[in-house]
Structure 1
Amino acid sequence: MEENWEPYLRERFIDPGYTHAKIHQDLFSLDQQIYLTPNFDEIFENFVISETGGQVTVKRYSDSSVHNFLRDDRQHIIKVHGSVNHPEELIFTHHDYARARVKHSAFYSVLDACLLSHTFFIVGCGVSDPDLALLMENHRFNFPLSRPHYLVTSSRISPDMTQSLKSNRNLKCLTYNSREGHKELNESIEELAEMLDVARSLPTGA
């Protein structure tokens, strides 16, 4: 699209003035310290900023200080594919993936470390995403005895794919029925948030 690319992105992702959906509220209610998002729109971070009075750090994969999210005690949103407001850095094609992995290899080392120290709860990310596939496959075979990570996906996923994801990416699938606008997904995340609140209220070691 050449010179039409940036105006197209603005027309599709910025000009409509999209507001958050219920799924954004539900994910925020999990009250996590780190949110990694491949989405290059800014709907989720705008919602979180408004909810927290700006008490959240938003970084792109290309930021020199992005690695601080592993050690800071603030809440972080990490844009692993860039932001629509910086279209020259968007990771959109296979060429973009390859370029980012070379130019920003340190960021991917940080993600590798994060896979070892945290449990990933993946929502709304397809299994064909090249970034996710490579990260998970490298982690699976470099650290075969690591605890699993979790992928929330439609119950329409095939048993063969479920087994492949477990064997090759150390991903356990949590399935839900996607009818009625993903109602079951929203309800499940609400229930998870309630369970987390209860667990956090228990005395240490309980």
Structure 2
Amino acid sequence: MKLPSPPLRHLALLALPAAFLLGSPSQASDETASAVFAGGCFWCVEEAYDKVDGVTATTSGYTGGHTENPTYRQVTAGGTGHAEAVKVDYDPERVDYETLLYVFWRNVDPFAEDRQFCDKGASYRSAIFPMNAEQRALAEASREAMAERFDREIATEISDFDAFYPAEEYHQNYYAENRVRYNFYKSACGRVDRLEEVWGEEASASTAP
């Protein structure tokens, strides 16, 4: 069964020029490390990590599935196995992976299964995609810490990283370039309220204490 595209996302995408329908991959510097996180709408995840000191670039895209070079429509319709995700390029001398994990958790609802906030479907699941053994060990330790903290099951997945496909160009930096439509979507989706309900003063953190 195919999932319908979320109405709020459709509203936020209205009036985009047709010229934006084709995207191009972002290239990371050889001097940076990379991490991949899925936390529902990649616009929101991109905004969260752009605020982190030491992050050098963020790219919205798709990962965790079996379809090569998927489109936004394919991913949100279901069947590709992919999740909306963000590749975070960062300077390890300025920020470490543990800090990125701290930021990740406080920008997701860790109890929601196959959805985040108003966006429903497996493409909006929360997940961490470790790119090496060290990242996996840290990711698993962080999820165990979350389970202990809340004393309940954590729905967020930890999945092996395979490939990352950059999303169409009009999705990149959407939150900054389409501020009015983005803020309407983010507010109506209930993201801020739910994060505050789960995390209190730690909600939407951009750094570790």
TM-score above 0.5 = no
More relative contact order in 1 or in 2 (CA 8 Å, sep 6+)?
2
Richer in strand (by share)? 2
Which one has a larger percent helix, Structure 1 or Structure 2? Answer: 1
Normalising by structure 2, we get a TM-score of: 0.30
Q: Which one has the largest radius of gyration?
A: 1
- TM-score (structure 1 length as normaliser): 0.31
